[in-house]
Amino acid sequence: MIMLKTEEEIALMTRAAELVAETHQILRREVKPGVTTLQLDAIAETFIRDHGGIPAFKGYRDFPNTLCASVNHEVVHGIPSARVLREGDIIGLDLGAIVHGFYGDGAVTVPVGSVAPPIDTLLAATEEAMYQGIAQARVGNRLSDIGHAIQRHVEAHGFSVVRDFVGHGIGRHLHEDPQVPNYGRPGHGSRLQVGMVLAIEPMVNVGGPQVRVLDDHWTAVTRDGSLSAHFEHTVAIQPAGPPKILTMSKERVGVT
Ligand code: MG
C-alpha cells in the first residue's frame, strides 16, 4: 500500500533528506587517493549524529555501517573497510538519515582524483538518467514512465540498467511501496499523485545488467566485472510540474 504524505510530513522528511545531501557535500571533499572507505563511513556517521540525525542504514537488516561504499565494479551495498581508494577509482556513496522519525535516502558516485574520459561519461549518463526519471515523476503520469525515461537515456549511451535492485517509496520506513524500477515500458503501474515520496535511483553498468552478491551477503557486483554507477534522490510529487527534490542541501535548493 502506498502511504501518501501530508505537507507537514513532507516538511519533516525534508530535514532528513537535507541532512543526506549535506553529508554528501562533506564526503565529496574527503574522497581522494589514500583514504579508506571506513574513514569515509566514520565521517558520515559523525556528521549525521552531530546534526540531529540517526544513520538509517546502520543496523538495517544488520548492515554494519552508515555508508554503502561501492567501488568500481561494485554496484550497491558495499561494506566500508580498510580498502584504500586509488587515483582513477570511482566510488558510490549511498546513505540515509532519520530525523523526526522520517527517512531520507540519496546516493552519488564520484571519481577518485581524475578518471579516464569513458568513466566520466558513465557518471554523467547515470546522473542525467536519474534526472530524466525525476522529470517524469509528476501527477497524472504512471510509475513506469519514470523507469522508461531512465532506461532510454542509459541505453542511448550503450550502458545497461540493473534490474535486480530498484527505487522505492520512502517515509516512516526506508523502503515503502511502490517499487520504482529503472526500466520498462511507459504508461504502466500506479498513477502518480500528490503525497507520494519516492527514492529514484538508477544503477547503471558499462557491460551487461547482471549482478551477483558476494559472500558478505551485501556487496552487489557486476557479473562481468564492468564498472557501475549509482545516483539517487528522494523526491516529493507536486500538485503540478516536476517533483520537489528533497535531497538537496539548503544552499543548492533552487539552483538545479
Ligand atoms: Mg534507496
Instruction: Quote the CA–CA distance of 137 and 80 in Å, as a whole number.
Output: 32
Report the percent of the chain where pLDDT is more than 90.
Answer: 97
Q: Considering the chain, what percentage of its residues have pLDDT values greater than 70?
A: 98
Average pLDDT in the 122-149 region?
98
CA dist 146 and 5 (Å) reads 20
Mean pLDDT (whole number) for 131-151? 98
pLDDT value at residue 250: 75
Distance 170 CA to ligand 1 centre (A): 8
Cα(133)–Cα(155) distance, rounded to whole angstroms?
A: 14
* Predicted confidence band of residue 251 (pLDDT cuts 50, 70, 90): low
**Residue 231 alpha carbon to ligand 1 centre in Å:** 9
Specify the pLDDT at position 185.
98
- Output the CA 167–ligand 1 centroid distance in Å: 6
* Helix H or strand E encompassing 16: helix 7-30
Is the predicted pLDDT of residue 254 greater than 90, yes or no?
no
Structural domains of the chain sorted by starting position, each given as residue range(s) with its CATH number in brackets: 7-244 (3.90.230.10)
Confidence of residue 108 (pLDDT cuts 50, 70, 90): very high
Q: What spacing in Å lies between the alpha carbon of 4 and ligand 1's midpoint?
A: 18
CA of 225: how far to CAs of 20, 69, 75, in Å? 29, 17, 10
Residue 132 has pLDDT above 50, yes or no: yes
**116: CA distance to ligand 1 center in Å?**
28
Q: What is the rounded (10 degree) CA torsion for 122, 40, 255, 239? A: 90
What mean pLDDT comes out for the span 28-40? 98
Instruction: Return the number of other C-beta atoms located less than 10 Å from residue 195's C-beta.
Output: 17
Q: How far is the CA of 83 from the centre of ligand 1 (A)?
A: 24
Give residue 178 CA to ligand 1 midpoint distance, Å.
12
Rounded to the nearest 5 degrees, what angle is found at the Cα of 165, between the Cα atoms of 75 and 182? Answer: 100
Give residue 187 CA to ligand 1 midpoint distance, Å. Answer: 23
Q: Which residues surround ligand 1, an ion (CB under 5 A)?
A: 105, 199
Q: Report d(CA 128, CA 126) in Å as an integer.
A: 5
